[in-house]
Amino acid sequence: MIGLDYNTLVVAGASALLGTAGGLAGTLMLLRKRALMGDALGHATLPGIAVAYLASLALGGSGKEVWALMLGAGAGGLAGVVGVAAIRRIARVSEDTAMAIVLGSFFGLGAALLTVIQASPQGNQAGLSTFVTGHAASMVRSDLDLAMAVALVCILVVLALSKELRLLCFDEPFAKAIGRSTKCLDALVLLVVTGVVIAGLQAVGLILILALLVIPAATARLLTDRFGAMLVIAAALGAASGIGGTIASSLGPSLPTGPCIVVVAAAIFAAALLVAPRNGLIARAAGGRL
Amino acid sequence: MTSWTWAVDGWIVAISALCAVACAVPGAFLVVRRNAMLADAVSHAVLPGIALGFLVSGTRDPLWMFLGAALAGVVVAVGSGALARLGRIDPGAAMGITFTTMFAIGLIVIVQVADKVDLDPSCVLYGAVELAPLDTVSLMGASIPRAAVVLGSVCAANILVAILLWKEILVTAFDPALAGTLGMRPKWIEGIVLGMAAATCVAAFESVGSILVVAMMIIPAASARLFSDRLGGVVACAMATGIVAAFAGHWLASSVAPMVVAGGRDASTAGSVAASLGAIFVACLMVAPRRGILRRGVDRARLALRIAREDALGLLWRLDEDGRRVGVRELRDLLIGGAQTRPWIARIAVRALSHDGLVEGGSSAGRRDAIALSDRGRREGAALVRSHRLWELYLTRKLALAPDHVHDTAMKLEHVTDAAMRERLVREGEIDLSRQREASDPHGRRIPDDAP
Amino acid sequence: MREHSKSSPLGIHALTVAYHRKPVLWDIDLDIPAGSIVGIIGPNGAGKSTLLKACLGLVPAASGRVTVFGKPYETQRALVGYVPQRESVDWDFPVSVFDVVMMGTYGRLGWLRRAGSAERERAHAALESVGISEYAHRQIGQLSGGQQQRVFLARALAQEARLYLMDEPFASVDAATEQAIVGVLRKMRGEGRTALVVHHDLESASAYFDWVVLLNTRVIAAGPTHEVMTHAHLRETYGGRLTLLDEAGERLQGAQRG
């Protein structure tokens, strides 16, 4: 049955922390109406990872230094975010077009580099492609530490700046009028999201990381009408999905952990969509507010 | 490294190009409707769709895969819209929830059946257009790659639908409410275009991969948007851009990549095409007319130069009015100090004056020599000063501004004022130039006459 | 040079907003008198909201400057309260009425510091004075339009400012809310505070405002209500714009955009 060995504990702990961080960061992105930015950011990490690998080889490394790959992923993701902002401003296109442009071209570049790397003799064992769809089972202690650090940063940022973040998401002009730098706040939020994406590469991969950023936050929105409560609930649901997904994946012989976490999160969302006290479909149908 | 053979590489490029052409119609619509990320959502649905097709049929038969993928694409497109409406969720978030959940389920299914059948997720994600020429079907006696047949049919279907429903698509893309009042059923049109997008994604995944089809759909249309303001133009330019990228991408992948990276094997063509599209977009951003970075820079410099040149003429005219003369260097310093012109622009502007024959004297030999306006220079200077002083008078009268407030505004407006506008200034400002008192500006300066 | 009074709550000095989008404002020069309720009145597209936003630094000014009690606005933010248009925010946002009103106290609190009981008292008092205390813990989306407008007013009151800039507070509100807003404005005036209110109903303007600014991309007239609200001034404000100036402004923008 459920093997509570050391490895499973590491995976469950890292997933729970990742879910917490994703819930917090995702709530901010959802309320800022930028839910899909996490997707562009996630896909943009791939060329960063590939370049970091090639750079490591060129500098005499093994290409397996995880910190270097994570650094590359972060640089790629941030380049993607800056790219979206630059394309929006210069080409005057809508944000979703800018995101699709960055997502498609960055991921394409990453895929091209990856095929080259995998063709090389050392590349086959590099296992870079696990970052695309994730491979939670191979998580080790250092992944747990990274997830813990990211979750801690998320919690600290949200605690320290809750009133600024609430203001930024609700009424940006008012925040500016009382002298808050909304640019700095936005940059901070995007940095935090980048941290979550990096921490999630190993567990769920760069495609499904969006789920951890969106689903717990959207579920929390159904369950509460308060900003603070939404953060707490999203963090809790993220953690619950992480643990639940890990347990679920240990029930079958070959159930991948990352997708299981997403499916558990989605199941909680579906349940909330039906039975949430005020915003659920049943409650609204009963009140004639459908 | 393999050498380029048309029998193989030609087909690879042709298949990629067909894919780009097929993507152009729905892509342009999605970009114009600000719904570009829907392409992303639909394309991520392909993987679970294939898994579904396999679960139902138990075979790797392409037909079942297509059916499954098509169904999944429609579920995402329709489902995320319904979820946003029913759950009152941000549309982007609803899309994210729907496609990540389906993708996760798809991954789980594929891992489950991995020992029974080889469904490689990375093939679905990145595609394998390099292998497409090997999988042929016989069509009218000729052996043609199956992917070319599939994409060719989708391409033809998309173009046919676009031609038949062109004005409906145009109006719906521009203004769905207007389309409704014209009895065009914008919901249906939108649904048809989304169906086109889904079908194209499904047809394309084998060759360019399910995620890279996002690049194929959105980037050509967004690049084309920089060059054309008309939907037809956008579609045509997008097709051309996609074809160019198909060539460039495959050439990079098969000829350049093996030379650059040790190990020497080809890079993924689909990835290279997507990356090339990104590069093409950046290039378009540089050179596009009107919105391009280069064009805007040139325009800005040209405008600054024209203003500096006109300011210099006005300056010389006013100095002349006071009976003063200045040298080249002094004029330059006046421009830099008084009109806040950038030094290099001031230098070029002053040089342009003598080049155009607007001033005399101040040759390079004698930099300290005083320069004087030529007849033509005096005429142009007079027109500028006239514009300036008429505006000052107009602003004090019509806007009731204080005389010491109007100079800066008039300084800007004089550069966009032509003879016709000067006439209107006199007329609409009710300025009677024949009367002595009124023939002067608010500061008591005379308003020069317009040259005949 | 026109003299600007140092004691004026709001001094606008030769402010021009020539911007990629219309409307533009031409060389606005105003001194708002202290302790008065001032209406900004003009047709649609006259730049009334743009004037408020330019004063608050929310849209960039091409030239000119804004002073609050004689000093640059940037150093005096704490003295200025702002009531944006109701449509400027998403009322589905997960916050309660009380949360929104508390936002008014954030300006003085600064970064990182948390709101304490003093701030909560201020927020409660503000809610009380606009008469919606009973809704304090409702989600903002559950209120009527007029009640939502009062929430914004209460948030501004919680700012405890000396000068208030209000963007269309009377737009499509019920009669009770209208009376509540007028009551608040008069109370403010009694305390020596100043309110600058964007308004577009001529009928009620004379009754509400001590002072009026007639605006149509430029100031037509500004002064005590009974002096300014003349037939001639109103005709100039509402009857036709200065097309020549508009045209020149468009050319200027066209030239800048390239």
Write the pLDDT tens digit of every residue in C223-238: 999 999 888 888 888 8
Residue A170 lies in a domain: yes
Owning domain of residue A166: 6-286
**What integer is the mean pLDDT of A169-184?**
92
For chain A, give percent helix, strand, coil, nearest 5: 80, 0, 20
Whether B279 and chain A come into contact, CB under 8 Å, resolves to yes
Whether C92 and chain A come into contact, CB under 8 Å, resolves to no
Q: Do B103 and A99 touch (CB under 8 A)?
A: no
C212 DSSP β-pair partners: C39, C223
Is the predicted pLDDT of residue B263 greater than 60, yes or no? no
Q: Find the range with the poorest average confidence among A169-178, B182-191, C165-174.
A: B182-191
CA atoms within 13 A on the CB side of C204: 15
Chain B residue closest to A37 (CA)?
B92
Q: Do A225 and C58 touch (CB under 8 A)?
A: no
Is the predicted pLDDT of residue B432 greater than 80, yes or no? no
| Collapsed DSSP state (helix, strand, coil) of residue C10 | strand
* Distance from C-alpha of B247 to C-alpha of B6, rounded to nearest angstrom: 12
Q: Find the range with the poorest average confidence among B184-198, C47-61, C130-144.
A: B184-198
Residue C242 is classified by DSSP as: -
Best-predicted range by mean pLDDT among B50-54, B119-123, C33-37?
Answer: C33-37
Best-predicted range by mean pLDDT among B273-282, B331-340, B374-383, C170-179?
Answer: B273-282
Residue A1 lies in a domain: no
Residue-level pLDDT at C1? 42
Is the predicted pLDDT of residue B384 greater than 80, yes or no? yes
Q: Do A227 and C94 touch (CB under 8 A)?
A: yes
Contacts of A259 in chain B (CB under 8 A): 103-105, 107-108
C29, C2 contact by CB (below 8 A): yes
A12, A258 contact by CB (below 8 A): no
* Residue A243 pLDDT class (50, 70, 90 cuts): very high
**What integer is the mean pLDDT of B227-238?**
89
Q: Which domains are assigned to chain C?
A: 10-89+161-257 (3.40.50.300)
Give the list of residues 6+ apart from residue A30 with CB closer than 8 angstroms, or none.
A214, A217, A218, A221, B90, B93
Residue with tokens 């809704």: C135
Is the predicted pLDDT of residue A46 greater than 50, yes or no? yes
Q: Give the closest-approach CA distance of C231 to chain A in angstroms.
A: 36
- Write out the H or E segment, with its range, that includes residue B360: strand B359-361
Residue-level pLDDT at B194? 84
Interface pTM (ipTM) of the complex?
0.93
Whether A141 and chain C come into contact, CB under 8 Å, resolves to no
CATH of the domain at A70: 1.10.3470.10
Predicted structure pTM score? 0.89
Q: Which residue has the higher pLDDT, C35 or C248?
A: C35
CA B239 to chain centroid, in Å, comes to 15
Optimal mutation site among A28, A163, A181, A230, interface C, most CBs of chain C within 10 A:
A163
Q: Give the closest-approach CA distance of A175 to chain B in angstroms.
A: 22
* Distance from C-alpha of B143 to C-alpha of B139, rounded to nearest angstrom: 6
* Residue C171 pLDDT class (50, 70, 90 cuts): confident
Tokens of A141: 């202690």
Residue-level pLDDT at A19? 96
**Based on the structure, what is the number of domains in chain A?**
1
Q: Give the closest-approach CA distance of C95 to chain A in angstroms.
A: 5
Contacts of C94 in chain A (CB under 8 A): 31, 221, 224-227, 229-230
**What integer is the mean pLDDT of A81-106?**
92
pLDDT one-digit tens code per residue, B269-301: 888 999 999 999 999 999 988 778 898 889 888
* Residue B264 pLDDT class (50, 70, 90 cuts): low
Q: Do A226 and C94 touch (CB under 8 A)?
A: yes
| DSSP string of C26-66, one letter each residue | EEEEEEEPTT-EEEEE--TTSSHHHHHHHHTTSS--SEEEE
Is the predicted pLDDT of residue B77 greater than 50, yes or no? yes
Please state, rounded to an integer, the average pLDDT across all residues of chain C.
Answer: 88
Best-predicted range by mean pLDDT among A4-8, B136-140, B171-175, C57-61?
Answer: C57-61
* Distance from C-alpha of A214 to C-alpha of C219, rounded to nearest angstrom: 49
Tokens of B327: 């040298």
Residue A21 lies in a domain: yes
Q: Which residue has the higher pLDDT, A122 or C16?
A: C16
* Distance from C-alpha of C25 to C-alpha of C245, rounded to nearest angstrom: 11
Q: Which domains are assigned to chain B?
A: 6-216 (no CATH), 311-373 (1.10.10), 383-439 (1.10.60)
Strands C37-41 and C211-215: parallel
Tokens of C54: 């330019």
| Collapsed DSSP state (helix, strand, coil) of residue C114 | coil
Residue-level pLDDT at B451? 61
Among positive and negative, which fits the CA dihedral B117, B121, B125, B126? negative
Contacts of A179 in chain C (CB under 8 A): 74, 77, 107
Q: Do C1 and B300 touch (CB under 8 A)?
A: no
Contacts of C100 in chain A (CB under 8 A): 170
* Residue B365 pLDDT class (50, 70, 90 cuts): very low
Residue-level pLDDT at B354? 83
| Collapsed DSSP state (helix, strand, coil) of residue C195 | strand
pLDDT one-digit tens code per residue, B93-129: 999 999 999 999 999 988 888 777 667 777 777 777 8
Q: Do B216 and A93 touch (CB under 8 A)?
A: no
